[in-house]
């Protein structure tokens, strides 16, 4: 092993591999390795300029090892320190990381290198395995020893009932309802970003952790340490970016359904809310308001004067959001030009098709700057210039007919190497030009990646089913995606599919989901409600007239009892707007999520690290959702060191205890911190 020192960086070379470890932000190190002569120069999620760190120390020396005969010999050893974090690399290239002198992470290495070790070294397993493949790059596996007692959180959004990721195997791929944001927070006081948009997998095993990139040219990860999860998120968002300040006129109710088919339907809903004196902020126009996918414009048959519609909605104080998909139908007026100019995804073999819902389609190549400019110009002409305020960037993973990532290629490279960053570039089709105006972009997406928070992205949890199991999964997803640096997040209230409006059990589920959504970053009514008994408008097979529409989703849709409960919940949301502004500002300034795992606010209160069915909404409100049917009371743990006031009854409780809280159908338990 050969060690070299550069300014604030340690370089190590061995057997064709070059490793670079450098200070990158406060108490943080970036670690890269490659088998190529040079690094690619891509920073991926590490987009923010970081000040030079004072006092970085690089040491190159040696250590003594004992041979099998009992004698000792010297081998090279090097280290780099940046504040509270230190990395040590030995003569075999094995990396270990320390926080304040305590080891927090060590690469997994079981290979005989001439020294006597306590681990079984006959397994011939190395810490970084570069496996070449036909295209010329590598499949990469990076291994770390397991830490007993470790808990891991974050990693984006996965549809599972686990908040602690230790013991989980996670696919690193974007899919409908699955959002890969590969940043993990450990209870051992560190956070790690897998700074690689390749499709792959991570296994947080008890015995070892394995990160796998399906294809890449280099290894790239970033580690920081901190005294608390809040400090770790601060360091992480300092190098990947923070959310803008959320607009005040987006903090209320977003009204949405699958689907409003005509501009008159949209206006009638808005007028009804106004008649009821309920001030909604945004109304959303979902898919197939267009002719075919890729035309990116209103179907004049059912939307004859969209500008007049927008003007009337604006006069009511309502902003307008429209759905835009990245798929381009072969029948689209834009398909030929986009295909000829290379603005669409490419297939490596077989037909040029990537999506087949309601047409033979190919997705745009969002990684291509020329594509982004082309799509924005079309959407600007047909939407933005008419006064449309925001965009719903659906199918933003992108959704694919089949997830054969090895069959797709982007301007940026093979899909296996860069697919996970696609939704971030898709959001920039709109964010980059919109942010040049005086309007703060707030766009809704179904997917994102590390750093997406800085591009005005509101992520939502995808087309999830209307079930109690799904509701529980969404709470886990919201807490973990916040710990991965994404503070703007929401769900379809009541779930997207399989909710029957005439089923009393669904009514209870919807109300519990709604009561929880009051205390989430964005509150949005949506769904494809059953039964599908509403006749189509026409049978043209072009435009949106022939597609079905679901039952109503509006606050009054399920009758007076549900309406009164929902109105009461929304009145509470409106009254909380000053507090919402405070916690959105905190997300903007220090990276804190709005939905916070209990340990985020109470890291020294041991029970808080094991609580997954309650959380803090900002620093002051403890929220305990009802996650099972026919449940009208539940246990709530109140952390110590303060008192807690039940916001519904006014009763006050000392902290440091578990209480049995009332949860009538009209509300869920919520407590405000006092003192």
CA 409 to each of CA 337, 405, 406, 413, 416: distance values in angstroms, whole numbers, following the listed order: 19, 8, 8, 6, 8
CA distance 217 to 620: 46
Task: Domain ranges for the chain, please list them.
Answer: 2-240, 254-324+369-396+422-587, 595-674
The arithmetic mean of pLDDT across residues 491-506, rounded, is 97
For residue 557, pLDDT beyond 60: yes
* Spatial CA neighbour of 279 closest among 261, 263, 255: 255
Say if CB 218 and CB 40 are below 8 A apart: yes
Q: What is the pLDDT of residue 120?
A: 58
Out of 81, 218, 394, 399, the active site residue is 394
Beta partners for residue 638, in sequence order: 657
pLDDT tens-digit readout, 600-645: 999 999 999 999 999 999 999 999 999 999 999 999 999 999 999 9
For residue 17, pLDDT beyond 60: yes
For residue 456, pLDDT beyond 70: yes
pLDDT-based confidence at residue 134 (cuts at 50, 70, 90): low
pLDDT tens-digit readout, 385-404: 999 999 999 999 999 999 99
pLDDT tens-digit readout, 261-271: 999 999 999 99
Structure tokens at 186: 């450990």
Out of 299, 365, 463, 613, the active site residue is 463
Q: What is the pLDDT of residue 116?
A: 46
Residue 394 annotated as catalytic: yes
Beta partners for residue 57, in sequence order: 81
Quick check: do 2-240 and 254-324+369-396+422-587 share a fold? no
Q: CATH class for domain 254-324+369-396+422-587?
A: alpha beta
- Region of residue 430 (left: phi > 0; alpha: psi -120 to 50; beta: else): alpha
Q: What is the pLDDT of residue 115?
A: 55
For residue 434, pLDDT beyond 60: yes
pLDDT tens-digit readout, 319-378: 999 999 999 999 999 999 999 999 999 999 999 999 999 999 999 999 999 999 999 999
CB contact set of 539 (below 8 Å; sequence gap of 6+): 545, 546
**Cis omega (within 30 of 0) for bond into 25:** no
Longest dimension (CA), the chain: 90
Q: What is the pLDDT of residue 438?
A: 72
Question: pTM for the full model?
Answer: 0.96
Assigned CATH for 2-240: 2.60.40.1760
Decide: residue 213, CB within 10 A, 0-12 exposed, 13-18 middle, 19+ buried: buried
Q: What is the pLDDT of residue 113?
A: 66
For residue 671, pLDDT beyond 80: yes
Residues of the chain with pLDDT > 70, as a percent, come to 98
For residue 570, pLDDT beyond 80: yes
| Averaged confidence pLDDT in the chain | 96
CA distance 56 to 9: 9
pLDDT tens-digit readout, 21-54: 999 999 999 999 999 999 999 999 999 999 999 9
Tabulate helix, strand, coil % of the chain (nearest 5).
Answer: 25, 30, 45
CB contact set of 635 (below 8 Å; sequence gap of 6+): 658, 659, 660, 661
For residue 69, pLDDT beyond 90: no
pLDDT tens-digit readout, 204-226: 999 999 999 999 999 999 999 99
Residue 397 annotated as catalytic: yes
Q: CATH class for domain 595-674?
A: mainly beta
Say if CB 167 and CB 207 are below 8 A apart: no
* Alpha-helical runs (H) found in 518-675: 560-575, 577-590, 598-601
Q: What is the pLDDT of residue 423?
A: 98
pLDDT tens-digit readout, 255-312: 999 999 999 999 999 999 999 999 999 999 999 999 999 999 999 999 999 999 999 9
Out of 397, 473, 507, 528, the active site residue is 397
Minimum mean pLDDT range among 142-151, 245-254, 295-304, 537-546 = 537-546
């Amino acid at each position: 092993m050969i060690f070299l020192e550069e300014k604030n960086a340690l370089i190590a070379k061995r057997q064709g591999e070059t490793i670079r470890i450098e200070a990158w932000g406060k108490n943080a190190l970036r670690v890269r390795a490659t088998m190529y002569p040079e690094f690619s120069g891509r920073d991926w999620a590490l987009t923010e300029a970081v000040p030079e760190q004072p006092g970085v120390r690089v040491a190159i020396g040696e250590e003594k090892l004992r041979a099998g005969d009992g004698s000792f010999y010297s081998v090279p050893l090097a280290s780099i320190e940046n504040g509270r974090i230190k990395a040590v690399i030995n003569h075999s290239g094995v990396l270990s990381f320390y926080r304040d002198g305590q080891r927090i992470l060590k690469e997994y290495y079981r290979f005989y290198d001439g020294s006597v070790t306590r681990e079984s070294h006959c397994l011939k397993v190395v810490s970084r395995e570069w496996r070449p493949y036909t295209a010329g790059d590598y499949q990469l596996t990076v291994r770390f020893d397991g830490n007993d007692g470790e808990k891991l959180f974050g990693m984006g959004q996965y549809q599972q009932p686990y908040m602690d990721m230790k013991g989980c195997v996670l696919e690193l791929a974007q899919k409908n309802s699955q959002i890969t944001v590969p940043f993990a927070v450990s209870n051992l006081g560190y956070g790690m970003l897998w700074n690689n948009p390749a499709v792959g997998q991570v296994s947080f095993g008890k015995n070892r952790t394995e990160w796998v990139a399906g294809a890449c040219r280099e290894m790239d990860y970033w580690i920081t340490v901190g005294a608390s999860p809040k400090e770790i998120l601060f360091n992480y968002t300092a190098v990947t970016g923070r959310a803008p300040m959320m607009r005040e006129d987006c903090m209320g109710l977003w009204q949405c359904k699958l689907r409003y088919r005509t501009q008159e339907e949209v206006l009638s809903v808005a007028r009804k809310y106004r008649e009821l004196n309920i001030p909604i902020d945004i109304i959303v126009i979902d898919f197939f308001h267009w002719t075919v996918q890729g035309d990116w414009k209103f179907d004049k048959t059912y939307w004859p004067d969209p500008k007049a519609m927008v003007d009337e909605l604006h006069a009511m104080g309502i902003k307008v959001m429209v759905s835009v998909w990245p798929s381009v139908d072969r029948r689209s007026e834009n398909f030929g030009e986009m295909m000829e100019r290379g603005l669409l995804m490419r297939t490596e073999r077989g037909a040029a098709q990537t999506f087949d819902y309601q047409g033979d389609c190919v997705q745009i190549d969002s990684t291509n700057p020329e594509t982004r400019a082309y799509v924005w110009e079309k959407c600007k002409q047909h939407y933005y210039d008419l006064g449309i305020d925001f965009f719903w960037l659906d199918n933003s993973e992108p959704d694919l007919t089949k997830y054969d990532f090895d069959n797709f290629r982007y301007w940026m490279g093979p899909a296996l190497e860069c697919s996970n960053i696609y939704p971030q570039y898709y959001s920039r089709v709109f964010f980059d030009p919109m942010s040049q105006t005086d309007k703060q972009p707030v766009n809704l997406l179904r997917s994102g990646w590390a750093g997406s928070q800085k591009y005005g992205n509101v992520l939502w949890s995808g087309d999830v089913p209307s079930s109690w199991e799904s509701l529980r999964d969404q709470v886990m997803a919201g807490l973990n995606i916040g710990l991965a640096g994404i503070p703007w997040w929401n769900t379809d209230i009541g779930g997207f599919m399989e909710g029957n409006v005439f089923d009393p059990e669904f009514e209870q589920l919807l109300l519990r989901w709604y009561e929880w959504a009051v205390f989430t970053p964005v509150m949005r009514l949506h769904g494809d409600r059953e039964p599908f008994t509403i006749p189509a408008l026409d049978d043209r097979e072009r435009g949106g007239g022939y597609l079905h529409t679901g039952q109503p989703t509006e606050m009054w849709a399920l009758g007076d009892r549900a309406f009164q409960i929902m109105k009461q919940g929304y009145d509470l949301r409106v009254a909380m707007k000053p507090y919402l502004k405070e916690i959105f500002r905190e997300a903007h300034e220090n990276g804190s999520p709005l939905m916070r795992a209990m340990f985020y606010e109470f890291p020294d209160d041991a029970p808080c690290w094991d609580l997954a069915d309650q959380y803090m909404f900002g620093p002051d409100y403890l929220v305990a959702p009802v996650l099972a049917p026919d449940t009208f009371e539940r246990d709530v743990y109140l952390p110590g060191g303060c008192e807690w006031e039940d916001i519904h009854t006014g009763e006050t409780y000392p902290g440091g205890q578990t209480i049995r809280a009332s949860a009538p159908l009209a509300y869920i338990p919520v407590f405000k911190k006092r003192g």
